[in-house]
Amino acid sequence: MYRNFRFDVISVADRARCGILKTSRGEIRTPAFVFCGTKASVKAVTPQQLKEVNTQIILSNTYHLFSYPGAEHIKMLGGLHKFMGWDKPMFTDSGGFQIFSLGYGSVANEIKGKRSGIPKLIKVDERGAVFKSYWDGNTQLLTPEKSIKIQRDLGADFIVSFDECTPYRIEKKRTEESMERSHRWEKRSLDAFEQFNDYSQALYGIVQGGIYADLRKRSAEFVSDNPFFASAIGGTLGATKEQMYEVIEMAMNGLNISRPIHLLGIGGIVDIFKGVALGIDTFDCVHPTRIARHGGALVKSQYRDGSSREHINLKKSTYKNDDSPIELDCNCLTCRSFSRAYLHYLLKANELLALQAITIHNIKFMNALMEEIRSGITQNNLKTISEKWC
């Protein structure tokens, strides 16, 4: 079923593991970070720049692309890879997250933060989700079959089954009903996938079940018992960091660990170390590239400004006269070329170069972090590595 894909675990330290995820467009060394190119573009940088800082894989959002310019349009132009000039591995999501998280209103923002392009959720029934498009205001129905068809047309290497994403503050019974419906939708996704399988794509199943241990375990077992290539942990992960780690562990308890495991929407440094320690292989999040566009540069602990944050805000006047690079030991183009003072000035002067330069640094930072995590697992010194980065 997935003859052009393969996942080999090559090194293990407790539950953390290093692996190689093989695709026809190249290998991904795991643990790895997946950068968000929501609308077929990682904002402010070119595919060439992404490669120069060792990016292995990116993700595009189905919801945005099928709203505009449409999956068939992208298919007609040769598929998403050709359309955006990215020839390495790529993910698309099912499109459900944007519709559900934003459609369910403000409580849902706690899951993964606010997003642009807000659809209006009209109703959810057994067929799928009816919503009003953010792009043209038309009412549309997204079903599991349609999500798979759209993702087939887009042509990413890794695609995701369609599920319902419920907010944190709902009771257990409602979470369970939603999870059961997600399972039925995931089965339909799998059937639609198998019907047209040409071996160019691999399908992820998603673990739901909210913050409830028994539901998470049941959902993880459902995903493991069905012929998905890999598993992703989705849905609400709780209200606090501690709860998030607990929920990840609940899901991990039922997952088939011979398959790759993705954690949806998480990208903080501490969170990545925690996730890796629990056995997560890949992560995605808009955070590193989004904060860059607001002047936030990710830095290791020694370069921080005393706050508990994992980045420094280059808009702050503190950096006006700071002629050192973002990080002295970073060899990205930005750190080799520009001082913090210059980046501060560019931000204040509203120069576009600031956004590109800080984005390049943050992507390099995440890729270097994942590389050190991989060597930390191989050499069994993840704890020492984490002290440097957290």
- Which residues in this chain contact Zn ion in the complex, by CB under 5 A? 330, 332, 334-335, 361
At residue 176, the 3 state secondary structure works out as helix
Closer of 340 and 361 to Zn ion (Cβ): 361
Is residue 322 among the annotated active site residues? no
Report in angstroms how near the CB of residue 308 gets to Zn ion at its nearest. Answer: 22
Closer of 233 and 332 to Zn ion (Cβ): 332
Report in angstroms how near the CB of residue 340 gets to Zn ion at its nearest. Answer: 11
Closer of 202 and 330 to Zn ion (Cβ): 330
* Measured distance CA(220)–CA(209) in Å, rounded: 9
Select which of 157, 271, 281, 284 is catalytic.
Answer: 284
Cβ-proximal residues to 41 (8 Å cutoff; 6+ apart), any chain: 84
Closer of 357 and 382 to Zn ion (Cβ): 357
Structure-token match 């950096």, residue found: 319
The H or E element that residue 363 is part of is helix 352-378
Is residue 284 among the annotated active site residues? yes
* Measured distance CA(284)–CA(275) in Å, rounded: 12
Select which of 8, 93, 198, 225 is catalytic.
Answer: 93
Helix axes 144-154, 172-195, angle to 10 degrees: 50
Encoded tokens for 229:
């290539």
Closer of 67 and 334 to Zn ion (Cβ): 334
Tally DSSP H helices, then E strands, for the chain.
17, 16
State the amino acid at position 215 in one-letter form.
Answer: L
* Measured distance CA(387)–CA(293) in Å, rounded: 27
Report in angstroms how near the CB of residue 285 gets to Zn ion at its nearest. Answer: 19
Report in angstroms how near the CB of residue 268 gets to Zn ion at its nearest. Answer: 19
Report in angstroms how near the CB of residue 367 gets to Zn ion at its nearest. Answer: 11
At residue 117, the 3 state secondary structure works out as coil
Encoded tokens for 197:
């399988």
* Measured distance CA(210)–CA(220) in Å, rounded: 12
CA 216 vs. chain centroid, Å, equals 20
State the amino acid at position 263 in one-letter form.
Answer: L
Question: What residues are annotated to the active site?
Answer: 93, 284
